[in-house]
Amino acid sequence: MDAYLVFEDGETFSGQWIGSPKETLGEVVFTTGMTGYQEVMTDPSYAGQIVTFTYPLIGNYGTVMGESESDAPTCTGVVVSELFGGGENGLAVWLDRHGVPGLSGVDTRAVVRKIRSQGAMRGMFSSNPRPTVTGWPDPLSAEWVDSVSVRTPVFHPAKVSDASHIVLIDFGYKRSILQSLIEGGCQVTVVPWFWPPQKIESLDPDGLLFSNGPGDPKAMLPWVSGWVPLVQKIPTLGICLGHQILALAFGADTQRLPFGHRGSNHPVKELATEEVWMTSQNHGYAVCSDSLDLAVWELTHSHVNDGSVEGLAHRQYPIFTAQFHPEAHPGPEDAAGLFQRFIDRVNAAKEVKVYG
């Protein structure tokens, strides 16, 4: 059945329905990874977005139990050039099971060229090439984070009772982040993003992790100042949206990138070692480098292609951040090793607290 991807400027790309055919609206983005399509579709950071895959063949290994980053696909829809594979574990059946629409047979190269040349843009799926749109989604809204966050705390025990306790503030966390902490020997409590700092502190955390998530980080501005007293005294790691939120909390600014960083091949330089890591990324916003007070922040990582801010360390408080996704570890162990650095810092602070 014919269907269309219609951009907000009226340009239309034709294809065929896959998954659950229905009209949907979202920001049209593209990701450059050659594998990992299931992880992409279930990454909560894609909430509110129509994801275009640049790799021409998607679905060739079906869907795999245990590979999802959340319970179900969180993206608004998917666009592929060619869909491969069928059967009960096929991608089209899986999308339909979860009520997610998609289009195949689309000229994805032309879609990507449009986004790269004109910048981030909204679009919709429709059976009508000239649909009527009554209102577009607003990225500057807390609804995107709220739609993917847990509603009540969830505790994940460690193998030993005296393990360091990490509170993961959930803006849309990926399961692999949680798994990295558990594999590092931590016990973890995942809490809703809207929990007040006083309730978080009552859990007696040894460390805090501000997770990834969807939307414009400035949607969190009404809440950022409340987290400052907490992170000033508890070792804290921020990833992706969490990195941006922590920068905002200490006076920096963020900006929308022309077309974002999404894929598993983004080169990031660690400035202290001059090593370049190939990282997994998914974000449409970045911390403005000229807004950073270098008396407050140390710039630890930068993007090789465009020089954007990829990592920060606070000069006074036990806070460091990464714009990329260290849990994906597509490249050297050093990228994934950021979790071990964080856990080591948490354990050291806990030992000081216990023994003085």
d(CA 169, CA 195) in angstroms, rounded, equals 8
CATH assignment of the domain containing 40: 3.50.30.20
Residues making up the binding site for L-glutamine:
45, 213, 215, 241, 244, 282, 284-285
Asked whether residue 241 falls in the same domain as residue 313, the answer is: yes
Asked whether residue 283 falls in the same domain as residue 166, the answer is: yes
Residues making up the binding site:
45, 213, 215, 241, 244, 282, 284-285
134 assigned to some structural domain:
no
CA 199 to chain centre: 25
Q: Which of 39, 240, 261, 303 is catalytic?
A: 240
Query: In the predicted model, what is the mean pLDDT of residues 292-305?
Result: 97
Residue with tokens 């992790």: 209
Q: What angle do the packed helices 175-183 and 333-355 form, to 10 degrees?
A: 60
Burial of 112 (0-12, 13-18, 19+ CB in 10 A): buried
Burial of 299 (0-12, 13-18, 19+ CB in 10 A): middle
83 assigned to some structural domain:
yes
Asked whether residue 92 falls in the same domain as residue 40, the answer is: yes
| pLDDT computed for residue 125 by the predictor | 98
* Domains: count for the chain: 2
- Per-residue pLDDT for 356 more than 70? no
Domain end position, chosen among 126, 160, 181: 126
- Per-residue pLDDT for 183 more than 90? yes
Asked whether residue 163 falls in the same domain as residue 309, the answer is: yes
325 catalytically annotated:
yes
Q: What is the chain's mean pLDDT, rounded?
A: 94
Q: Which of 303, 314, 325, 329 is catalytic?
A: 325
288 catalytically annotated:
no
Q: Which of 27, 310, 327, 329 is catalytic?
A: 327
Q: What is the pLDDT of residues 124-135, one digit of tens each?
A: 999 999 998 988
Q: Residue 140: which pLDDT band, with cuts at 50, 70 and 90?
A: confident
Q: Residue 144: which pLDDT band, with cuts at 50, 70 and 90?
A: very high
